[in-house]
Chains A and B, each alone.
Chain A
Amino acid sequence: MDEVLEITEEQFTVALAIPNEDFVYRQVPLTELDKESARFPLPANFTIKYSRGEKELSVSWSAHTSVQQVFEVIGLSANMKGEFKDIKRYKVFSLPVHFLRDVEGIEKVVHSPVFNGNPAPIGSPNIYAHASIFFPESEQVEIRKKLSTYCQQNYGASYCEVDIASLEARVEALKARADNTRYHRCLKNEPPQITVTETVY
């Protein structure tokens, strides 16, 4: 049975307004070095690779995803070696949008859906909930520090705890479906409607 996201291709091209009351989820890869750290997440976990052409910090908008779905997308994404990412190596933190917009230097928090195809290639799922935090490179030190401090000081609320074992099972089931998942398929664009108007003389 096909599993299709109830969103059209065209909707991926339309950025919706993110209300202040919502949250965004930041996925943080947990390295061996991070495991030695007394604190987590660190400012380094909020780095934008400007030198590699990145211009934004990627997050997921809570209105169109859940923590479980964030992990599912991670598990269906390929790393640089072409292997699926290991969800056990990730942690997810939620950040309130109003907090982000109050941080001096953050220019905008916007919806930025990622559409890779219909169906999307295996390893590169579509991410309708994708959102972006923009801040200039000149402000990155202050902003990275403030984002990590928020997560550390509000760890209980910010850290998104999940049952990783059941999620792994879910991700394995999704992988078995290849590109036949809601992360790879969405609704085709509807053909243009022809409206006939009757003119009465």
Chain B
Amino acid sequence: MSSYTKEPNESLLSTNSHYTSYNKLGEGYRVANNQQDDYITHPIVIGNINNAIRDIDSLSAVRSLYSVTGNLKVGYDALPDFKRVRILSRPAVGSGYIQIGVSGIRQMRAAIKQPIDAIIDRAEKIKALAFDWDDDGALPIETALVDASVEFLKQYYNYVSQHYNPIELPEISPCPDGSIDLDWHTPNAQLLINIRKDNAGEDYTAYYYGDKHNNKVQVKGSTPVNEFAEHLAVWMKYLK
């Protein structure tokens, strides 16, 4: 028996023994316990392994594993980069299930949190930058601007992930003019959001440009950071 401990949102895994069926999660969704490890078994539909794994922030999000591609038994290295989650083996074709160990879910959850933590860590470093941080006269970045930028990112990231599909996290960078860049470059699309004080110098505004490479399906404009630009959020679904 593994040493898995019940957590508040993981009750579906807490009482099982051998291949108990869990109708709450839908037909074919089972939790099992073998002598090596707990694991959950999911039916599979076509999707993307990286997107699915990224969603495992709570057990309820494990439902997104329905989108895992093919018939896979998934192993994982809890690496900070989602793309490096490794598929260890492929079970017999036609099994229609994916098996992920419970301890592995924890590892994956840790891996999932790392990129967001990394952004927050990086944001803290940006706050600490003093004048001339690039040795070329760069301006410091206001703490309030950094916080507003992180909140802006979380708002859009969560919205797109919940309503459409998981998306990549951006590179968050300070600009020498005292503004903040959120920069995405994915195989599918690219987007730059620059957040700075608006022309009146009071509120923060996000200026953005994106396209699906080669200037296709462009999105361009600006929005106050305290308002939600749904058209931008919808476009951001391309950042997968």
Judge: A and B partners, yes or no.
yes
CA distance A51 to B194 in the complex (A): 14
Interface assignment of A177: CB less than 8 Å from any CB of chain B: no
Q: Which chain A residue has the least Cβ–Cβ distance from B132?
A: A80
Whether the Cβ atoms of A44 and B176 lie closer than 8 Å is yes
Q: Which chain A residue has the least Cβ–Cβ distance from B125?
A: A33
Whether the Cβ atoms of A44 and B135 lie closer than 8 Å is no
Determine the chain B residues whose CB is within 8 A of the CB of A86 once the complex forms. Answer: 135
Determine the chain B residues whose CB is within 8 A of the CB of A29 once the complex forms. Answer: 134-136
Q: Which chain A residue has the least Cβ–Cβ distance from B177?
A: A49
Interface assignment of A67: CB less than 8 Å from any CB of chain B: no
Interface assignment of A18: CB less than 8 Å from any CB of chain B: no
Q: Which chain B residue has the least Cβ–Cβ distance from A89?
A: B135
CA distance A142 to B220 in the complex (A): 8
Whether the Cβ atoms of B136 and A52 lie closer than 8 Å is no
Range, interface on chain B: 20 to 34
CA distance A31 to B207 in the complex (A): 24
Interface assignment of B185: CB less than 8 Å from any CB of chain A: yes
**Smallest Cβ distance from A75 to chain B, in angstroms?**
12
Q: Which chain B residue has the least Cβ–Cβ distance from A83?
A: B135
Interface assignment of B120: CB less than 8 Å from any CB of chain A: no
CA distance A144 to B190 in the complex (A): 12
Determine the chain B residues whose CB is within 8 A of the CB of A36 once the complex forms. Answer: 122
**Smallest Cβ distance from B146 to chain A, in angstroms?**
12
Task: Find B137's partner among A39, A80, A148 (CB 8 Å cutoff).
Answer: A80
